Amino acid sequence: MSQLRILGALSILSILFFTFHLFAQVPHLTSTVHHHPPPHASSTIARCESLRAEAGPPKHFHKRSKSDRFVGGTKPLLVQRARIWTGGKNGTEVISGDILLDKGLIKSVGHLGRSAIAAYGDDLVVIDAKNAWVTPGIIDIHSHLGDASSPALDGAEDDNSLKGIVQPWLRSLDGLNTHDDSYPLSIAGGVTTSLVLPGSDNAIGGQAFVIKLRSTAERTPTSMLLEPPYNINSSFPDPNLPPRWRHMKHACGENPSSAYQDTRMDTNWAFREAYKKAFDIKQRQDEYCSHALAGKWKGLGQFPEEYQWEALVDVVRGRVKVNAHCYEAVDLDALVRLSNEFKFPIAAFHHASEAYLVPDLLKKTYGGTPAIALFATNSRYKREAYRASEFAPRILAQHGIKVLMKSDHPVLNSRYLLYEAQQAYYYGFPENLAIASVTSNSAEVMGMGHRIGYVKEGWDADLVIWDSHPLALGATPSQVFIDGIPQLKDPHVVHKRSAFQDTPKVPNFDKEADEAVKYQGLPPLAVKKRSTPTTIFTNVKSVFTRSSDAIQTLFSAQDESVLGVVVTRNGSLLCSGLHTTCSEFLNDSHATFVDLEGGSISPAFVSFGSPLGLQHIDQEASSNDGYVYDPLVQAVPKILGGDTAIVRAVDGLLFGSRDALLAYRVGVTSGITAPSHYSFYSGLGVSFSLGASHKLEEGAVIEETTALHVSVRHFSNPSVSTQIAALRRLLLGPSKGASGHWFQKVKEGEVPLVVEAHSADIIATLIILKKEVEVEARKTIKMTITGGAEAHILAKELSEAGVGIILNPSRPFPYVWEDRRLLPGPPLSRDSAIVKLISHGVRVGIGCEEIWSARNLPFDVAWAAIEAGGNISKEQAIALGSVNVEKLLGVEREDADLVATRGGDVLSVSSKVAAVISSRRKSVDIL
Ligand SMILES: *[C@@H]1O[C@H](CO)[C@@H](O)[C@H](O)[C@H]1NC(C)=O
Ligand SMILES: *[C@@H]1O[C@H](CO)[C@@H](O)[C@H](O)[C@H]1NC(C)=O
Ligand SMILES: *[C@@H]1O[C@H](CO)[C@@H](O)[C@H](O)[C@H]1NC(C)=O
Ligand SMILES: *[C@@H]1O[C@H](CO)[C@@H](O)[C@H](O)[C@H]1NC(C)=O
Ligand SMILES: *[C@@H]1O[C@H](CO)[C@@H](O)[C@H](O)[C@H]1NC(C)=O
């Protein structure tokens, strides 16, 4: 036996001995003999007593007259004439009045007497809200802000440790970057507080922390924390302090499975093994304490604990808000069983795409039904999320289950967390609960409802003044207060029509919501109903059509009481206008009549920017077309023609994906997609119908080849200069093979070259290259930039060079270094990037980042118009999502679909698509 093995055996023996010793003592201690207390008795007794204390604020918390986060010198502030959503009465209480902020607290809400105001003297800052909406600060229950920093840099990925599938001892606080570009951006969206969770690559990823987003004088992560647990800087906190809520991240399903090459079975065993350990420590502690508190000290030894496990022990003591990332019924079921086996509560299930299908299961969770934290429409990116439904919030609410909306920042930009609530509201989540889902209810679920999430006397002075009703699309803060400190310096406020101040009217989705449950998340989406040859749309308020390169108004009712009519035959417009104009067509006894109830007909939207049409489920290779070879980074097989091969997206089209059909149903009826690629080289784009069920259907493929696509980005390899060199050679070098053929067409100005580029430096280089090619070819070439986060910097130069931009995303975010010089738009800048580019005469289109987001293009377009404060006309706005996209991406055909919307035009959230009118397919689909 080697020395090492002897030592090993000894240590095992000593563990056995110790364990035996510990348990062997217990029976003796049941005697009633009292022994002399050891020197540590009083601290041990305090510690034992503290184990019984429940987490939460101290008893007299609301007697505080000053916030622990108050910054000396902050002036008292009065917000006058506000329309205040308080969070009270289940989120239904709205008060008109004033709000007084002082010492980091809300000192009063309602009407403040003159004498109270006078008492503050000249120090008081007065803000007239002019009847604007005021809500509590927006609270994000699921963020990685600071830990998964933006722009993403290799040196700052601090949200997933892969050192073990169970690591309750890790703390997101330890990775919190105070220089994340997102802080000011998210504040500009009204976010004041976020729960920063570790990532989801572990079953137990570690402890989470609540932060307020404002910068602090100390400039430290610790100074950003809200009510941090005392153990952040102390191994043995003062047991007399009432414990504060702690937070922990758990994750089920695909993420831990793929990070550890495990199965769900392995992950759940990892959970059970860890919980058993924590549960046993807790039992030993409780047993120890029952003796200590009874004064039976003999042989009791030290308080049993294992430092690594103390946080999980606190979980089984019910003093930690467990936030569990679990999607499917299979995962939720496992965690509900786990909670019952080890008797610990779960604060919230996050993502929980199938929660709405298993409400009774959720109610069986130990300690009460968890809240469900959801995205509104971000779905289907992996199997776990495939059955997610936009109707989940309303369905869960009907079961009395608390629903929160969350960003998972930077997965979604938390600047727009309120947009998640707006979408949920659009699909039927009640107004009061929608606002509460990002304010009061998230505060409660975090265990912070005693101080944030409400506009209430004594609560933290975290408020947002909005430029519209908070559930109106595009609602933007005109001021944000955190701890009573105004966060926006010289905010740019868009003045909105009074209609934006009212609760938005939204369509009825009762039938769709019922079907979501009936079909377990997969309701049939294919369009079954074709109209008769003649379709007559009545009560039409406006008609927009497209010419070769713009949108124009064909008809617009002057008066609500005299609405128009539109007659179509075989998918083509026959007549539109007042009844008298079209009377000769109205007596067709076989016509189908569609009442648009004041709605509109306008050109359909076109999706570009994601692999829509080449994917069903993003993260499932077997459901996707796959990726092209890139001759710049690898050898292309000879059978393909080697380096000169060109791939056509049309050859890989997959029809009938759920994302395509969902987009179709909201009026995004076609897609333009380029071959999926990892780096530089893509191939030929295609334009196709999103409503078709297969390629051979009439009108399924609109144009087989549209434009030639490449990307020039800061991939680590090869360099940007190498990519530009390759592009120059392809354009100016000897033309060979298939790629030679297509680059020749680019050179002759026949086919656009579409380059994904984000950085202004790369875009400038591309403008120079374009001129170089034009001098050589003596032709004007067509070039379009997609992405374009920094394009606004070159608005003038792009306009002069005749280069158009597809902005993707349409509301920018500093994902990576090359995006960071973005133009944020109101309230941080007067112009949005779209307004700036348009005002310089650049043709702009709006892109869709991922396949699920194609369905949100109508919202994106409407938002761009709202944000422009009237500086973009309705026609220009519709063009952003339709004709401009086609023009910029090389679609020549002009027989675009039309969309009929009921109850409003295509830019209004009160409308719903009633029909798609397709002259290409010579038919009208009734939805
Ligand atoms: C809160 O509001 C929701 C939706 O409006 C309603 O269904 C629920 O019953 C209300 N809860 C209470 C306790 O009033
Ligand atoms: C330790 O953290 C607590 C907050 O949990 C804070 O109040 C205290 O000042 C900190 N102590 C030191 C020495 O930094
Ligand atoms: C409409 O389509 C039907 C069936 O394809 C055809 O018989 C009819 O002639 C068409 N009508 C017009 C006006 O094109
Ligand atoms: C409809 O009415 C117009 C005159 O108003 C007439 O010319 C036409 O023949 C009628 N069509 C049918 C199908 O009755
Ligand atoms: C719209 O244009 C006007 C006049 O150029 C300008 O004053 C205003 O600030 C612009 N609004 C936005 C939101 O850009």
Residue of the nearest CA to atom 10 in ligand 5?
871
The answer to the question of residue 112 being in a domain is no
Q: Is residue 635 packed enough to be buried (19+ CB in 10 Å), middle (13-18) or exposed (0-12)?
A: exposed
Instruction: Give the ligand whose atoms come closest to the C-alpha of residue 234.
Output: 2
The answer to the question of residue 746 being in a domain is yes
So what's the pLDDT on residue 34? Answer: 57
- Distance (angstroms) between ligand 1 centre and the Cα of 426 equals 18
In this predicted model, what pLDDT tens digit does every residue of 644-671 receive, in sequence order?
999 999 999 999 999 999 999 999 999 9
Is the CB of residue 576 less than 8 Å from the CB of residue 554? yes
In this predicted model, what pLDDT tens digit does every residue of 804-843 receive, in sequence order?
999 999 999 999 999 999 999 999 999 999 999 999 999 9
Do 277 and 350 reside in the same domain of the chain? yes
In this predicted model, what pLDDT tens digit does every residue of 194-240 receive, in sequence order?
999 999 999 999 999 999 999 999 999 999 999 999 999 998 889 98
Domain end among 382, 412, 447? 447
Strands lying side by side in the sheet with 668-673: 605-608, 668-673, 686-689, 701-703
- Distance (angstroms) between ligand 3 centre and the Cα of 895 equals 17
Q: How far apart are the first and last CA of the chain?
A: 79
Atom of ligand 2 nearest to the CA of 68: 7
Is the CB of residue 483 less than 8 Å from the CB of residue 148? no
Identity at 656, one-letter amino acid code: G
- Distance (angstroms) between ligand 1 centre and the Cα of 90 equals 6
Q: In sequence order, which residues have a C-beta less than 8 Å from that of residue 345 and are 6 or more positions away?
A: 318, 322, 339, 365, 366, 367, 368, 370
Residue of the nearest CA to atom 3 in ligand 4?
584
In this predicted model, what pLDDT tens digit does every residue of 668-718 receive, in sequence order?
999 999 999 999 999 999 999 999 999 999 999 999 999 999 999 998 789
Q: In angstroms, what is the C-alpha Rg of the chain?
A: 31
Q: Does any ligand 5 atom lie closer than 6 A to the CB of residue 865?
A: no
Q: Does any ligand 3 atom lie closer than 6 A to the CB of residue 533?
A: yes
How would DSSP label each residue in 688-755? EESS-SSTTSTTSEEES---EEEE----SSS-HHHHHHHHHHHHHS---HHHHHHHHHHHTTSS-EEE
So what's the pLDDT on residue 697? Answer: 93
Q: Does any ligand 2 atom lie closer than 6 A to the CB of residue 547?
A: no
Atom of ligand 3 nearest to the CA of 569: 13
**Span of 18-32, 364-378, 493-507 with lowest mean pLDDT:** 18-32
The answer to the question of residue 225 being in a domain is yes
The answer to the question of residue 486 being in a domain is no
Do 827 and 850 reside in the same domain of the chain? yes
Average pLDDT for residues 725-748, to the nearest whole number? 95
Residue of the nearest CA to atom 11 in ligand 1?
90
Is the pLDDT at 19 greater than 70? The verdict is no
So what's the pLDDT on residue 25? Answer: 40
DSSP label at 893?
-
So what's the pLDDT on residue 3? Answer: 41
pLDDT band at 36 (very low <50, low <70, confident <90, very high): confident
For position 888, which CATH number holds? 3.20.20.140
Q: Does any ligand 5 atom lie closer than 6 A to the CB of residue 829?
A: no
- Distance (angstroms) between ligand 1 centre and the Cα of 398 equals 9
For residue 331, give its domain range: 138-447
In this predicted model, what pLDDT tens digit does every residue of 585-623 receive, in sequence order?
998 899 999 999 999 999 999 999 999 999 999 999 999
Sign, CA torsion 258/263/268/274: negative
Do 552 and 614 reside in the same domain of the chain? no
DSSP label at 112?
P
Q: What percent of the chain has pLDDT over 70?
A: 96
So what's the pLDDT on residue 184? Answer: 98
User: Residue 449, CB half-sphere, CA atoms under 13 Å: how many?
Assistant: 15
- Quote the CA–CA distance of 740 and 644 in Å, as a whole number: 7
Residue of the nearest CA to atom 3 in ligand 2?
230
In this predicted model, what pLDDT tens digit does every residue of 113-170 receive, in sequence order?
888 888 898 999 999 999 999 999 999 999 999 999 999 998 878 999 999 999 999 9
Domain end among 603, 625, 659? 603
Do 564 and 550 reside in the same domain of the chain? yes
User: 572 is written with which tokens?
Assistant: 């083509």
| pTM of the full structure | 0.95
Is the pLDDT at 30 greater than 80? The verdict is no
- Distance (angstroms) between ligand 1 centre and the Cα of 397 equals 8
So what's the pLDDT on residue 21? Answer: 39
So what's the pLDDT on residue 369? Answer: 98
Atom of ligand 4 nearest to the CA of 587: 1
- Quote the CA–CA distance of 796 and 3 in Å, as a whole number: 77
- Distance (angstroms) between ligand 2 centre and the Cα of 173 equals 14
Do 596 and 610 reside in the same domain of the chain? no
Count of domains for the chain? 3
User: Residue 825, CB half-sphere, CA atoms under 13 Å: how many?
Assistant: 26
For position 574, which CATH number holds? 2.30.40
In this predicted model, what pLDDT tens digit does every residue of 858-901 receive, in sequence order?
999 999 999 999 999 999 999 999 999 999 999 999 899 999 99
Do 833 and 882 reside in the same domain of the chain? yes
Atom of ligand 2 nearest to the CA of 234: 1
Q: What percent of the chain has pLDDT over 90?
A: 91
Is the CB of residue 338 less than 8 Å from the CB of residue 271? yes
Instruction: Give the ligand whose atoms come closest to the C-alpha of residue 836.
Output: 5
Q: Does any ligand 2 atom lie closer than 6 A to the CB of residue 235?
A: no
Residue of the nearest CA to atom 2 in ligand 1?
90
pLDDT band at 29 (very low <50, low <70, confident <90, very high): very low
Atom of ligand 1 nearest to the CA of 397: 7
- Distance (angstroms) between ligand 4 centre and the Cα of 586 equals 8
Q: Which of 631, 646, 644 is nearest to 737 (CA)?
A: 644
Residue of the nearest CA to atom 11 in ligand 4?
587
Do 714 and 613 reside in the same domain of the chain? yes
- Distance (angstroms) between ligand 2 centre and the Cα of 150 equals 28
Q: Does any ligand 5 atom lie closer than 6 A to the CB of residue 492?
A: no
- Distance (angstroms) between ligand 2 centre and the Cα of 233 equals 6
User: Residue 725, CB half-sphere, CA atoms under 13 Å: how many?
Assistant: 6
Is the CB of residue 182 less than 8 Å from the CB of residue 145? yes
**Element (H or E) spanning 915, and its range?**
strand 912-918
Total Cβ atoms within 10 A of residue 556: 13
Distances (CA, A) of 370 to 400, 442, 471: 11, 12, 25
Do 767 and 855 reside in the same domain of the chain? yes
Q: Does any ligand 4 atom lie closer than 6 A to the CB of residue 588?
A: yes
So what's the pLDDT on residue 797? Answer: 98
Do 374 and 401 reside in the same domain of the chain? yes
Residue to probe by mutation, ligand 2, list 225, 233, 234, 247, most atoms within 8 Å of CB: 233
Do 334 and 344 reside in the same domain of the chain? yes
Is the pLDDT at 923 greater than 70? The verdict is yes
The mean of the pLDDT values for the chain is 94
- Distance (angstroms) between ligand 4 centre and the Cα of 579 equals 14
Total Cβ atoms within 10 A of residue 166: 21
Domain end among 558, 584, 603? 603
Q: Does any ligand 1 atom lie closer than 6 A to the CB of residue 403?
A: no
So what's the pLDDT on residue 33? Answer: 52
Q: Does any ligand 1 atom lie closer than 6 A to the CB of residue 432?
A: yes
The answer to the question of residue 560 being in a domain is yes
Instruction: Please count the residues of the chain.
Output: 927
So what's the pLDDT on residue 11? Answer: 40
- Quote the CA–CA distance of 61 and 404 in Å, as a whole number: 26
So what's the pLDDT on residue 70? Answer: 98
In this predicted model, what pLDDT tens digit does every residue of 523-552 receive, in sequence order?
999 998 888 899 999 999 999 999 989 999
Is the CB of residue 770 less than 8 Å from the CB of residue 781? yes
Q: Is residue 215 packed enough to be buried (19+ CB in 10 Å), middle (13-18) or exposed (0-12)?
A: middle
Do 313 and 368 reside in the same domain of the chain? yes
Q: In sequence order, which residues have a C-beta less than 8 Å from that of residue 643 and are 6 or more positions away?
A: 631, 636, 737, 739
In this predicted model, what pLDDT tens digit does every residue of 254-267 receive, in sequence order?
999 999 999 999 99
Do 563 and 614 reside in the same domain of the chain? no
- Distance (angstroms) between ligand 2 centre and the Cα of 234 equals 8
- Distance (angstroms) between ligand 3 centre and the Cα of 897 equals 18
User: 424 is written with which tokens?
Assistant: 């949920």
So what's the pLDDT on residue 561? Answer: 85
